Each structure stands twice: as C-alpha cells, then as structure tokens.
Amino acid sequence: MRQVDSPKTASLLAADMTARKDYLVSITLGLFAALALTVVGSRACFAQADPASEPAVLAVAKVLPAVVNINTERVVRRTVRDPLEDLYAQFFGYNRGRPRQIRQTLQSLGSGFIIDPRGYIVTNQHVVERAADLKIHVTTHDDRTYNAHYIAGDDKTDLACIKIDAQTDFPFINLDNISPNLLGETVIVVGNAVGYGSSISRGVLSAVKRNITVDDVEYKDLVQTDAAINPGNSGGPVIDLSGRLVGISSAKMAFTPQGVPTQGLGFAIPAEVVRDSVNRFKKIAQKQAGLQNEAASVETSTSKAERLFGMQLQNLSQELSDALGYARGRGVLITAVEPGSPADEAGIERGMLVYRMAKSDVTSVQQVEALLASVQSGSNVNFTVGVIRAQGQDHKLAALSMTAR
C-alpha cells in the first residue's frame, strides 16, 4: 500500500530542496572565485618583476658613485750587469765593467672608496705602498681623474688613506652605519676587477674572524665570502643589500697552504676595523694640514736666510731630488742668490744646497729658519754648502762662514 505524504511533510521536502539549491549555488560561486584568483595569480607569477626595484640594484646604485679606481705609478732604479761580462770574468779573468742603472716604471691597479665629502679615500695599504715614490691617480665613477696624495697607512691592518683635492663635495659611504655582518647575509663586491671599472659580484657572508696567510702576509679577523674577488678589487667596498659597508676586499685564497686549489674563498677587512683606522688616519691628516699651513706661511714670507744672507731656499722634495740627480733626504736647495749679498760674495750659486749650519744638519727650510731665529746683523754663521749626487758619487762640499748683513 502506497503512503501519501501529509502537507507538513511536503513542506519540509520543499524547504530541503531550496537549501540544497542555495548550497549548490554557493559552491559554484566559490569555485568561480577560486578559479579567478588562480588565473590572476598565474598571470602575476609569469609577469616579469621590475629589475630597478631589486634590493641589490638599489644598493649598488647607492654606493657606486663613491667607489673609485686607483692607478699607481712608481719609478724604481735597478742595477743590471751584462751576464756575458760575468761569464768572461769567471773563465778568462777579465775585469768586470761597472754595472749599469736603469729606471723602470711599475704600475698597479686597485680600488677604493670615498669616506668623506672632502675627498678622503680608504683603500688597501698594499695598493699604495711606498707612496713616497708613487704617483697616485684616482678615477671616479663619472670618469674624472684626480691626483691624490698619501695620508697614512698601516701594514698590520693593510689599510691606507689617500686624499684628492677639488673644489667640490664628493659622494661618500657613511662609516657611522655599518653592516651587522650576519652569517648568510647577501654581500656585494664592488671594484675595479682586472682593470674593468665598476664591476659587481655577489655572494653571501660565509664566516667571520678568519685568520689567513697569503703570500707570506698574515691577515687577522677577516670576514669570508664566496663572492668573486679578483685582482684589482683590492681596496674596494663589500656591502650588504642596504648599501652598508661589510668590509674592504683584501685577498683571495686560490690555494690552501698545502697547495690544494680552492673556490669561493675571498676575504675582506671588517667594517669596524676600517672605521677605527679611518678615525686615526683623519687625525694624522689634520696634523699634516697644520704643518703644511705653517710651512706655507714661512715660505711665502721673507725669510731670515734671504734678509740676512741674500739667498732664497726651497725644500728638496724626492721628485726634485731625482730630477736634479741629488741624494734624497739631505740638504735645502738654494733657488736664488742676490747679487752683492753675503751669499754672493761667499761664492754660493743657485742650485747648490745647504747641508749644515753651525753644528746641525738641515733638511728643510723650517730648520734653517729656526736656527737663524736668534741670529742678528753682524753675526757670523758657519755653513756647509755644495752638492751630493745620488749613489754617493761626485761630492763637492765647502765649509764657509758668512756675516749677516
């Protein structure tokens, strides 16, 4: 017998069907929404990101104007002998001829970066070593070349400071906000790799507090990175993705002490060591500036040597010594002699040098002026003048006494 539903049962069935329709509609709308999001997300994934917004690109753009290329040039003298003469002298008893001296120009490339708007630059000491004999040329990121002079350096930390002088403010890397140097952080090496300016390499900070020895030179407390460091990178900055200084590129270990070849072992001097060294170098620069101002005031005013004896003096720089063929580091150059003066009557000529006054050797105008400070008109002063050539040859010296006018 078939059962007939009551009105109440029919009503419940109708409500259930409506609920099921609403459920199916919501499911369908949800699926469409999910599909739409998937399509949008896929398009976003396949869309190319703007390279200009990459953190590494922004960091490099921030520091690159302060990075410089350093080209040093040094003239050295070498003594050479004909090997055939040595052979003949050994077997046939010939007298050896005198060895010849040749001048050779040595050049090196490196990197550095400006750490002060006045043009102070920090680099490796080995890039500008023996700077007294160097010509230092610095090329900035905008392809302008400047002459630089050496301020100070430290062989232990392998850091040095040089300075370029110009009537402008330079972009610089701030040493007051340095990288925390966390293991695994991304680092970027910027510099003059193998002569190619503004070269970039990227890696991670691999280790800190490393002590290594490369070419018999010991380095301590370095940071290690797998970013490529090549010849010419020395002295350039290593930065993090915020553009903060991690360190200064210093060395690359190509082989272990046992001769095993390596890969990805580059080392940098940590930023805190750089900051401390720069503070010391700036103090030295301030002292040098004070001495230069003092020397300028002495040399621009009428000196006592000129007033009392009629001779004008000039400090003998190493470049001037080399050009004239004089021994370095000795004497003060006489650049002019007043006719009829005590110096002229004593036979002193332009180009001679004053080597000694009374009982004191002199090497600067300041020393001469200090010794003459108490000399009055009518006083007799003993001088040793003449020329001492380089390599100890052709000494012509004379001791004489002059009366101050």
Q: What is the model's pTM?
A: 0.57
Residues 281-308, mean pLDDT to the nearest whole number: 69
Query: Which tokens hold the place of 86?
Result: 């040595």
- According to the model, what pLDDT value does residue 247 have? 96
With cut-offs at 50, 70 and 90, classify the pLDDT of residue 20: low
Specify which residues 223 forms β-bridges with.
Answer: 268
Element (H, E) at 336: strand 332-337
162 contacts: CB under 8 Å, gap ≥ 6: 70, 112, 120, 121, 123, 128, 131, 136, 138, 148, 149, 150, 151
Query: Which tokens hold the place of 345?
Result: 């009557």
- According to the model, what pLDDT value does residue 168 have? 85
Whether residue 337 is predicted with pLDDT greater than 60 in this model: the reply is: yes
Question: CA 339 to CA 65: how far, in whole Å?
Answer: 55
- According to the model, what pLDDT value does residue 299 have? 46
Q: Which single residue is written with the structure tokens 């003469």? A: 85
Q: Which CATH class is domain 302-403?
A: mainly beta
With cut-offs at 50, 70 and 90, classify the pLDDT of residue 356: very high
Query: Which tokens hold the place of 202?
Result: 């990227």
Task: Report which residue type is found at 157.
Answer: T
- According to the model, what pLDDT value does residue 292 have? 59
Whether residue 35 is predicted with pLDDT greater than 70 in this model: the reply is: no
Query: Which tokens hold the place of 368?
Result: 């001469």
HSE (side-chain half, CA atoms, 13 Å) at 359: 0
Are 133 and 145 contacting, i.e. CB atoms less than 8 angstroms apart? no
Question: CA 55 to CA 186: how far, in whole Å?
Answer: 10
Average pLDDT, the chain: 80
259 contacts: CB under 8 Å, gap ≥ 6: none
With cut-offs at 50, 70 and 90, classify the pLDDT of residue 11: low
Query: Which tokens hold the place of 167?
Result: 């009537």
Percent of residues in the chain assigned helix, strand, coil, to nearest 5:
30, 35, 35
With cut-offs at 50, 70 and 90, classify the pLDDT of residue 206: very high
Are 258 and 274 contacting, i.e. CB atoms less than 8 angstroms apart? no
Question: CA 108 to CA 95: how far, in whole Å?
Answer: 39
Element (H, E) at 10: helix 7-46
- CATH code of the domain made up of 65-164: 2.40.10.10
Whether residue 369 is predicted with pLDDT greater than 50 in this model: the reply is: yes
Min mean pLDDT across 3-12, 75-84, 336-345, 391-400 is at 3-12
Whether residue 84 is predicted with pLDDT greater than 60 in this model: the reply is: no
With cut-offs at 50, 70 and 90, classify the pLDDT of residue 30: low
Are 186 and 131 contacting, i.e. CB atoms less than 8 angstroms apart? no
Local structure of 294: helix, strand or coil? helix
Element (H, E) at 20: helix 7-46
Query: Which tokens hold the place of 391?
Result: 């390599």
Task: Tally helices (H) and strands (E) across the chain.
Answer: 8, 18
With cut-offs at 50, 70 and 90, classify the pLDDT of residue 327: confident
Specify which residues 61 forms β-bridges with.
Answer: none
Four-residue CA torsion sign, 123, 196, 219, 208: positive
What digits encode the pLDDT tens for the residues 137-180?
A: 899 998 999 989 888 888 888 999 999 988 889 999 999 999 99
* Residue of higher predicted confidence among 54 and 31: 54
Share of the chain above pLDDT 90, in %: 39
Task: Report which residue type is found at 289.
Answer: A
Task: Report which residue type is found at 322.
Answer: D
Q: Give 236's DSSP letter.
A: -
Burial class (CB in 10 A: 0-12, 13-18, 19+), 369: middle
Whether residue 4 is predicted with pLDDT greater than 50 in this model: the reply is: no
Residues 95-115, mean pLDDT to the nearest whole number: 69
Q: Which CATH class is domain 186-279?
A: mainly beta
Are 340 and 375 contacting, i.e. CB atoms less than 8 angstroms apart? no
- According to the model, what pLDDT value does residue 95 have? 52
- According to the model, what pLDDT value does residue 298 have? 45
- Give me the count of residues in the chain: 405
